[in-house]
A = this chain, B = another copy of it.
Amino acid sequence: MHFDQLRLIRSPNIVPVSYRQLMARFGNARAALEALPDLIRRGGGKRVVLANEAAIAREFQFVQAFGARYVFIGDADYPYLLSHLDNAPPVICVKGNLELLACPAVALVGARNASAGACQFARQLAFELGQMGLSVVSGLARGIDTAAHAGSIESGTVAVIAGGIDVVYPPENRALQHAIAERGLLIAEQPPGTEPRARHFPYRNRIIAGVSAGTVVIEAAPKSGSLITARLAADAGLEVMAIPGSPLDPRSRGCNQLIREGATLVQNASEIAELISPLDNRILAPPVKWEPSIAVIADDSSHTERSAVIDRMGMTYVSVDELVRQSGSSPSTVQMVLLEFELAGKLERGAGGKVRLAT
């Protein structure tokens, strides 16, 4: 079963949303894989390529030999909060103690070039949060992330990395990354061997925010990845907190801006724990089984229906609701047409679930 799931996930043009839609439509990964060629053809795809079975087998072997394992969405030990993201990763690769995400977790994120004072503060904060029984989540980057992991290595630290589970980054954190895999928890979404690229970091950030009941930002530039993480947390209905700073210190601008946008100003571990604890029950409750059928899609689509939707798409992003209105088709039919089109590599999804023709 997991073999089929990973093969489906690694097949071309499968993203978290299309994985979810296929699982909802076909019930399991094998049925989805069998239907895939038809769907791709209906979407106008010329070449039908599924992930190579031997490669999938090698990937499982490598991960096992590396001492890591896969956790699929829908598995009992898949992080409960994470499964609630619209674009929750269909699979994560984990090495270490997954139990750390069975306790309430708080993300500490911030600038790579943070001041020494802020790094010391982050380390102490992570230590105190750990003493309060919270797991500390961060991204293993330089600066604040490193300090957060260092402060919570004894109590329970979770690092989400942008590349593959076996790829060390940044190089100076080699020893820390190994220590976290041994004593904490290391999480990767990209396949083994993947070198982290700029485009991977927003994906990593959504996992940092998504596994944590709350995200705390310490010293961040106004347009930094830390602020993206914070906004992802807010979008997912999770708690967003920020450590304030003097307007005379340019490094405070991102955090102060977040507070102006509605993040809660926090000054110490108790103020953070106060905002996290009400979620305990939600996290500690026996997880409800993951239900992929949130996006209702039609059983099939006719040529006429496909044309009605596709004729209304162009190079600019449009919302699915707008396509439903303009095409006169049902929402489930429009979703099916878009899925087929996406699997054929002809669709791009943007912010807010908007879609356009692939360039």
Contacts and interface: CB of A to CB of B under 8 A. Distances in A.
Contacts of A268: 247
A245 interface: yes
A35 B265 CA distance: 55
Contact of A248 (B117, B248, B271): B117
A246 B247 contact: no
A301 interface: no
Interface stretch (A66-74, A252-260, A288-296): A252-260
A18 to B, nearest CB: 41
A311 interface: no
A264 interface: yes
A246 B244 contact: yes
Interface residues of A, number: 19
B267 A247 contact: yes
Contact of A265 (B121, B249, B259, B267): B259
Contact of A244 (B117, B121, B256): B256
A126 interface: no
B248 A246 contact: no
A243 interface: yes
Contacts of A249: 246
A117 B247 CA distance: 11
Contact of A243 (B247, B253, B265): B247
A121 B264 contact: no
A121 B256 CA distance: 17
Interface in A282-331: none
A264 B256 CA distance: 11
A244 B121 CA distance: 17
Contact of A259 (B247, B248, B252, B259): B259
Contacts of A259: 244, 259, 265
A255 B267 CA distance: 12
A123 to B, nearest CB: 13
Interface of A: 117, 121, 243-249, 252-253, 256, 259-260, 264-265, 267-268, 271
Given A121-B247, A244-B259, 13 more contacts: A117-B248, A244-B244, A244-B245, A244-B246, A244-B252, A244-B256, A246-B246, A246-B249, A247-B267, A247-B268, A256-B267, A259-B259, A260-B271
